Structure 1
Amino acid sequence: MKYILFIALLLFSTHLVISQNTQSEIDGGEHGYVPEQSECLNEQQRQLIIQQLKSQSLLLKSEGRLAFSEENRGTNPLFIWPVQKKQGLEYNSVWSISNYVDHNPTSPNALLDYNCGSRTYDTSSGYDHQGLDIFTWPFSWKQMDNDDAEIIAAAAGQIIAKSDGNFDRSCDFSTITPWNAIYIQHSDGSVAWYGHMKNGSLTTKNVGDTVVVGEYLGIVGSSGVSTGPHLHFEVWQDGTYTQLIDPYVGACNSLNSVSWWNSQKPYTNPGINAVLTHSANVDFNNCPNSETTNESDNFMLNDMAYFYIYLRDQYIGSMFNVKIIRPDGSYLLDADYTSTNDYYASYWWWSRVVDMEGIWQWQATYEGETVIHSFSVGALSIDDEELQELSVYPNPFSDTISINSSTIIHSVTIFDFTGKSVVLFEKKSPEGIRELDLSTLSQGIYFADIKGDNKEQKVIKLLKK
């Protein structure tokens, strides 16, 4: 299965049209271009999996533990999306799609997805892509290392097999190492395959255990034949593994006539995956090294800051707007851009000197969606050496947070994302401030400006869920 990381940094020729009179430099490019593909499982591996699945099902049945039965066969499941961001991750989204199921049995280079497009692949050996490829974006390797993209059960069912312990940082098609995967049978007998998982991340549940819809299964990885972290989601109609299912309904789906999604996503699904600030340019590094992202929400006055947006399914003629908003409401940047290319995943960035103290906003609007990222400049950017070990928990929080610090905390000021002070806590005992009741705050992003008895200072971003 395929997913090659390809970063095309298009300096001075960005394939975007700037819709404003003032000069506004922009750099960036495409992420996720794939010049060739290969099957994620060779035929021998696939047959071994099918044999294992049949054997495990027979064993569960002989033990009276197989949940599926012909007598009580249910209707086909309606899937939820099988990838979600972990709780507390500030990215707006963590995925994009690289490939759908191929419905043209001719090969090679005879491509036909469910929507009559060519967002799929086949190989010269006769393999037609049999699943949905969902890759992580932005920062696939960092996401994998930090467990940011979780694979969840698209439907309730029973684990009938699982495979773990295999190498998970594959970068090419030459490996013969199997993938890490979990296989779930549903009440109608259909079976979903979740492949390429991170080593050691699979649920601790055993074969024979049941899962509910949305339950954690593992982390998106790059095990098996793979060139980057992604989930291969493959569905079979029953335990004979002779009839493939494409969950998407469309004019060129030759396998099934109805959608298996609870809410089918559009074929092209443009969106904002992240709006981030950085202290230096991002280094995407070579596979399989984790990206050096240089993410930062705190800057000193007159620092150079780097402003990035990360988009999925950017299409020709689509427009996005970006704004860098000072604490006083004035704009350091306000510009519209129109794409002259199609991108499955893209990134664009600007560098600017931040020239005013306070809480800033970095904002992007695309396809009717606006994402705001707040960051601080100046006094609120101080991270005192004496408070480097200070931490707050839980974060994200619901009502209260605790402060873990060897330094006595004198005061804590809570600012909202606009820079307005909303709550002030002051020391009332020799032990200092150890707990904050923030139950009156609405959901959203806040900054805690924490000061010690000797004027030490640290700012921590908080997220109320």
Structure 2
Amino acid sequence: MKKVMLLICCLLVFLFISISFGQVNSGFQISNEDYGNFSSNNAEHPCISEEQYLMIEQSCKENIQLLQSKGVLHKNSAAVTLFNWPLKAANGLSDCSFYRISAYVDQNTGSGTIQDFSCGTNTYDGHRGTDISIWPFNFYKMDHDFVEVIAAAPGIIINKHDGEFDKNCAANNQTANYLIIRHADGSQANYWHMKKNSLTKKVIGESVLAGEYLGIVGSSGSSTGPHLHFEVWAGSTVATRVDPYAGNCNTLNAISWWANQKSYMETGIVKVSVNTTDIVFPACPATETPNESDVFQIPFQGAGLAPGFAKFYIFIREEMSGLTANMSILNPDGTTFTSWTYMSTAANKTRINGFSKKLPTTPGIYTFMANYNGTICSKTFKITAATNTDNLNHENKSIIYPNPSSGTFILEMKKSVATEIEIFNLLGVIVYRASIIKPITEFNLNLPANIYLYKIRNENKVSDTGKLLIE
């Protein structure tokens, strides 16, 4: 009897979940406690063990002596090293951002107590570097080489190791894939946990420029998920470590080592997406299934959704209680198709919210936009008719290139039939209008970097629409 009752309860729970996720305006929320491997290393299981530190110090010392004897390394200069951000989005990644800080340097040397440079607790006991995790979809981004590790400052490679397993989910005693660069002032930067066989082909003794490719973010060594452990030493031993961030509780150094120091909490939207159904988050280290789409053919039916509905997701970094996310779907002309809000009721390092919303039915290019804490993130998607064509005459299609650009675009018409181009900001305000009198027309937009929408008209009829990106 107990087994029967348990089975009935399970079926009821399953039915409740199925109904909830299929509702017209259902909200789907995942905090950092619910999604992915957000546990971090700790004092017992650090990113780099004491034994590994000793090995690194010794091998770096030997390499430095060898390179100095060959004239590759010279005496330290008086110049002060300033770092740029050590990660960049690879070609193909269009997310508004792609990382979060999972742990800063621990400034409190006492055992069992922690404090970061800003007097907060975003660190773990004894942590000597800055852990920058890629997010969201950390393993998906890793699998597709979407986030590159780049040299934060110019220097000489003095240590390098590759070939280790790179999909760890828990702290361990394994060796990471890493690269160490020595700078002109004698300081060095340690880049840890990179993806297997992704490291630069350059070898020990070769120089790198600031911004140069070093590898791909991975989860090799003692790691709980794909992230970069970025650690800075003022000299050639761990005893000379510094915290690149300046702050009231930085006891290691008085000034920032960043060329432009980022804020302590970068609260905002890092990504928005339009999805055919719910995202699939498997257990670490399996790869996530985003289920995103840029094109929806009407009529549309998504798995687990009401007919004509899609899922609209926002991804919030450093959520703060009391803040509101304002979301809207914009028509091709920039007017609002629909809008809604989400109120944060608790602080979370990350938050994923998914909403079921009815799709537009008129073919065209639409924009899903979200604003949280003053940061705006948007994503365009296309609605097509059941015939898999839209309502435009493809004989008259235009081509605009390069797109994105710094503001100079070339409009090329397959047939010289258009008479005017109008460009709108995301609020629907016309910011540029010009006549088209030639098959190929160049136009220069003196506008801020952003996404813009355009209409091409032929005798007061819209013949084409699209978006422009000014970088």
AA at the equivalent of 1:305: A
Which of 87, 91, 94 matches 1:87?
91
How far apart, CA to CA, are the structure 1 residues paired with 2:197 and 2:441? 37
Check if 1:262 corresponds to 2:263. no
Which of 59, 73, 92 matches 2:66?
59
AA at the equivalent of 2:323: S
Structure 1 residue aligned with 2:281: 284
Check if 1:146 corresponds to 2:144. yes
Which of 104, 107, 111 matches 2:111?
107
Query: For 1:206-355, what aligned pairs fall within 5 Å after superposition?
Result: 206-303=203-300, 304-327=309-332, 331-355=336-360
AA at the equivalent of 1:134: I
Which of 176, 179, 183 matches 1:179?
176
Change beyond 3 A, Cα 1:416–1:35: same
AA at the equivalent of 1:169: K
How far apart, CA to CA, are the structure 2 residues paired with 1:158 and 1:185? 5
8 Å Cα contact 2:299/2:386 also seen in 1: no
How far apart, CA to CA, are the structure 1 residues paired with 2:388 and 2:353? 28
8 Å Cα contact 2:409/2:444 also seen in 1: no
Matched residue count: 408
Change beyond 3 A, Cα 1:207–1:331: same
Check if 1:379 corresponds to 2:385. yes
How far apart, CA to CA, are the structure 2 residues paired with 1:379 and 1:444? 29
Return the offset for 1:305: 1.4
Return the offset for 1:74: 2.2
Check if 1:117 corresponds to 2:136. no
Instruction: Output the TM-score relative to the length of structure 2.
Output: 0.76
Instruction: Output the TM-score relative to the length of structure 1.
Output: 0.77
Deviation sequence 1:63-88 (CA, Å, 0-9, x none): 11114x14xx2233111111111134
Return the offset for 1:221: 0.7
**What SS is found at the alignment partner of 1:262?**
coil
Q: Which sits farther off after the overlay, 31-40 or 261-270?
A: 31-40
Check if 1:42 corresponds to 2:46. no
Structure 2 residue aligned with 1:361: 367
8 Å Cα contact 2:270/2:377 also seen in 1: no
Change beyond 3 A, Cα 1:114–1:52: same
**What SS is found at the alignment partner of 2:238?**
coil
Change beyond 3 A, Cα 1:35–1:84: closer
8 Å Cα contact 2:38/2:224 also seen in 1: no
Check if 1:97 corresponds to 2:95. no
Structure 2 residue aligned with 1:129: 127
Deviation sequence 1:188-240 (CA, Å, 0-9, x none): 11110000111111112221111121111111111101111000000111024
**What SS is found at the alignment partner of 1:48?**
helix
More helix by share: 2
AA at the equivalent of 2:274: T
Return the offset for 1:159: 0.9
How far apart, CA to CA, are the structure 1 residues paired with 2:257 and 2:41? 29
AA at the equivalent of 1:147: D
**What SS is found at the alignment partner of 1:184?**
strand
AA at the equivalent of 1:29: I
Return the offset for 1:296: 0.3
8 Å Cα contact 2:450/2:470 also seen in 1: yes
How far apart, CA to CA, are the structure 1 residues paired with 2:387 and 2:181? 48
Change beyond 3 A, Cα 1:132–1:439: farther
AA at the equivalent of 1:77: T
Deviation sequence 1:111-155 (CA, Å, 0-9, x none): 111111111002xxxxx0000000001111111111111111111
Question: How many percent of aligned residue pairs carry the same amino acid?
Answer: 40
Check if 1:75 corresponds to 2:79. yes
How far apart, CA to CA, are the structure 2 residues paired with 1:156 and 1:143? 26
Q: Which sits farther off after the overlay, 302-311 or 275-284?
A: 302-311
Structure 2 residue aligned with 1:7: none
AA at the equivalent of 2:215: G
Structure 2 residue aligned with 1:4: none
8 Å Cα contact 1:400/1:437 also seen in 2: no
Change beyond 3 A, Cα 1:395–1:325: closer
Return the offset for 1:302: 4.0
Change beyond 3 A, Cα 1:96–1:334: same
Query: For 1:443-462, what aligned pairs fall within 5 Å after superposition?
Result: none
Please report the RMSD computed on the Cα atoms of aligned residues, expressed in angstroms.
Answer: 3.8
The structure with the larger Rg is: 2
Return the offset for 1:336: 2.8
Return the offset for 1:397: 7.7
**What SS is found at the alignment partner of 1:242?**
helix
How far apart, CA to CA, are the structure 1 residues paired with 2:284 and 2:441? 43
8 Å Cα contact 1:182/1:193 also seen in 2: yes
